[in-house]
């Protein structure tokens, strides 16, 4: 049982024993014996704890902590709690994926495809569970990728059949064809059902195509209004942040508090400038804190605060697009200037500089992996503030714009044009331009090679 759980977890995260061992700073052979089942251990053993710590550090460093927490049912991303939850989860017999013959599909990709189909049908997990006569929590675990039914199971056949019938009844077969990557109008219902089932289990993820499609669909439907998910912070909490006088914050929880304080002060001040840079792991931005952060960022934009951010793009293509998706509602306010630094970041140290020009800043430096015990200094001294801002300006000199947003609809470049909803996507070798034809009208341009390559793959898939 333990070896199967370890195998599933490594597959889910897209990593290996050797890589987890490097994060845990121990020999890969210890974990190899765990995975093979040659060692029988309890959840409080030193080896299991080391493995869990390696999984945590890998997930945090590779922006997969949110996915990991969903699998192990951990409510937050605190290091000790996550490691403890991993140790417990590894020995829980009722949480295994459902047997063999699940093919080689990535659990994350399987979950994304389930969510995509359910979104197209327009049905919730609870309603779908009643149609399939299974527990709603099981459908939720399929959506997260934790549960992958066997390819030939009755459940997955019923799932695909019901989805296809509903999609046909709603006249959405053409949209389904775009999702699975082939026209479906010439196939009968049973054939389409089989195509959908093969799509769910296909190991050919088409790399970046799904996150790019989700990203483009979000741009197509974006407005400059507050996202519905934002829960407005209680006004009492807002005033408490403004009265805070701490000069030092410890760990990721401390960093969260310091960031909210910085944004609250900038929002209250109005018409100031924020300068943001961080190359440390962004797991502190997950969970409930993310909604609070969104709220204050929108408040800043609403109150005339301009933000210049230097993004860290040293991550996978998929993670890059999911991160960009989080920022785009803010980009369309016109108050954000985004850049990426061309200089390579260090792999030993993590640095954070969040600056409210002329008012205050947060500064922190630590060895990677120690962010949760690092000190983050809240600086209001004028001389020190100028020094930190000067450091940011040096970084900015080595940076290029990540995205340029303008309201004008200038003549497009002679690239490959793709129409998607209300968007015109123009892809040339060195630039991607996306034009929104509906309000708020805007033209978005990218020249980062990773982004250009990803959009080129997406346009090709749509045309094919």
Q: Which residue has the tokens 């439907």?
A: 221
Handedness of CA 195, 200, 206, 208 (dihedral sign): positive
Q: What is the CATH number of the domain that holds 431?
A: 3.30.870.10
With contact defined as beta carbons under 8 Å apart, do 324 and 354 qualify? Answer: no
Residue 442 near residue 405 (C-beta atoms within 8 A): yes
Residue where a domain terminates, one of 203, 227, 247 = 203
Residue 300 and residue 415 share a domain: yes
Strands 306-311, 336-341: pairing kind: parallel
Q: Total domain count for the chain? A: 3
In a domain, 228, yes or no: no
Whether 217 maps to a domain, the answer reads no
376 and 424 share one domain: yes
Residue 101 confidence (pLDDT)? 44
Residue 171 sits in the same domain as residue 270: no
Q: Do residues 243 and 368 share a domain?
A: yes
Confidence at residue 229, expressed as pLDDT on a 0 to 100 scale: 42
pLDDT of residue 44: 65
Looking at 47, 62, 95, the residue that finishes a domain is: 95
Residues 6+ apart with CB under 8 A from 313: 320, 340, 402, 448, 450
Distance CA 196, CA 204 (A): 14
10-residue averages of pLDDT along the chain (464 residues): 75 78 80 60 75 87 72 77 88 52 63 84 86 85 80 87 93 83 79 85 58 70 48 67 94 92 95 92 69 87 94 64 73 85 70 95 87 91 95 92 71 64 82 80 81 80 67
pLDDT attached to residue 29 = 76
| Same-domain pairing of 90 and 126 | no
State the DSSP H helix or E strand holding residue 457, giving kind and residue range, or none if neither. helix 449-463
Specify whether 419 is located in the same domain as 378: yes
CA torsion sign for 391, 392, 397, 398 is positive
- In angstroms, how far apart are the furthest CA atoms of the chain? 73
> How many other C-beta atoms can be found within 10 angstroms of the C-beta atom of residue 180?
18
Taking the alpha carbons of 433, 458, 333, 269 in that order, is the dihedral positive or negative?
negative
Nearest to 263 by CA among 220, 228, 222, 309: 309
155 and 286 share one domain: no
Same domain, 191 and 287: no
Question: Is 429 a member of any domain?
Answer: yes
The pLDDT score that the predictor gives to residue 408 is 55
pTM over 0.75: no
Give CA–CA dist 225/40, Å, rounded: 55
pLDDT at position 274: 97
Residue 216 domain-assigned? no
> Are residues 289 and 427 located together in one domain of the fold?
yes
Distance CA 230, CA 251 (A): 25
Q: Within 13 A of 161's CA, how many CA atoms are on the CB side?
A: 9
Burial of 70 (0-12, 13-18, 19+ CB in 10 A): middle
Indicate if 151 and 280 belong to the same structural domain. no
Q: Within this chain, do residues 129 and 278 fall inside the same structural domain, yes or no?
A: no
- Confirm whether 342 is domain-assigned: yes
- Long-range (24+ apart) CB contacts under 8 A made by 175-180 are 175/120, 176/120, 178/462, 179/116, 179/117, 179/120
**Residue 161, domain extent:** 107-203
Tell whether 72 is covered by a domain: yes
The answer to whether residue 219 is domain-embedded is no
CATH code, domain carrying 167? 1.10.260.40
DSSP 8-class letter at 91: T
Distance linking the first and last C-alpha atoms of the chain = 44
Is 100 part of any domain?
no
Domain boundary residue, one of 147, 180, 203:
203
444 and 321 in one domain?
yes
Q: How far is CA 358 from the centre of its chain?
A: 32
Peptide bond before residue 118 is cis, with ω within 30 degrees of 0: no
């Amino acid at each position: 049982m333990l070896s199967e759980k370890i195998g599933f977890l490594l597959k889910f995260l897209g990593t290996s024993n050797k890589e987890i061992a490097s994060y845990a700073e121990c020999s890969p052979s210890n974990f190899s014996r765990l995975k093979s089942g040659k060692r029988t251990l309890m959840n409080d053993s030193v080896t299991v704890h080391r493995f869990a710590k390696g999984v945590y550090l890998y997930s945090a460093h590779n922006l997969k902590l949110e996915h990991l927490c969903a699998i192990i049912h951990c409510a937050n991303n605190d290091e000790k709690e996550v490691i403890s939850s991993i140790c417990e989860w590894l020995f829980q017999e009722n949480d295994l994926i459902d047997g063999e013959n699940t093919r080689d599909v990535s659990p994350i990709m399987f979950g994304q495809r389930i969510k995509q189909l359910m979104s197209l049908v327009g049905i919730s997990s609870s309603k779908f569970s009643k149609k399939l006569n299974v527990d709603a929590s099981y459908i939720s675990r399929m959506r997260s990728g934790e549960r992958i039914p066997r390819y030939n199971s009755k459940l997955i056949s019923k799932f695909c059949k019901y989805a296809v019938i509903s999609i046909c009844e709603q006249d959405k077969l053409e949209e389904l064809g775009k999702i699975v990557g082939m026209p479906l109008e010439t196939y009968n219902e049973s054939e389409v059902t089989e195509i959908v089932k093969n799509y769910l289990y296909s190991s050919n993820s088409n790399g970046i195509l799904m996150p790019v499609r989700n990203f483009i669909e979000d741009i197509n439907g974006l407005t400059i209004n507050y996202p519905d998910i934002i829960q407005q912070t209680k006004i009492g909490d807002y005033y408490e942040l403004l009265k805070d006088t701490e000069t030092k914050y410890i760990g990721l929880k401390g960093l969260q508090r310091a960031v909210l304080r910085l944004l609250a002060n900038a929002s209250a001040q109005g018409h100031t400038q924020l300068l943001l840079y961080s190359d440390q792991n962004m797991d502190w931005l997950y969970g409930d804190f993310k909604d609070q952060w969104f709220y204050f960022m929108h408040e800043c934009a609403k109150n005339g605060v301009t933000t210049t951010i230097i993004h860290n793009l040293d991550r996978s293509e998929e993670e890059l697009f999911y991160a960009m998706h989080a920022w785009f509602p803010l980009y369309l306010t016109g108050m954000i200037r985004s850049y990426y630094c061309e200089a390579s970041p260090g792999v030993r140290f993590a640095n954070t500089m969040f600056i409210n020009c002329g008012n205050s800043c947060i500064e922190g430096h630590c060895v990677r992996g120690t962010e949760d015990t690092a000190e983050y200094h809240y600086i209001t001294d004028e001389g020190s503030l100028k020094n930190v801002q000067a450091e940011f300006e040096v970084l900015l000199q080595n940076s290029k714009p990540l995205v340029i947003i303008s309201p004008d609809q200038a003549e497009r470049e002679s690239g490959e044009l793709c129409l998607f909803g209300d968007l015109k996507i123009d892809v040339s070798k060195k630039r991607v331009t996306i034009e929104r034809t509906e309000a708020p009208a805007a033209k978005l341009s990218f020249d980062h090679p990773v982004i250009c390559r990803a959009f080129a793959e997406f346009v090709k898939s749509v045309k094919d």
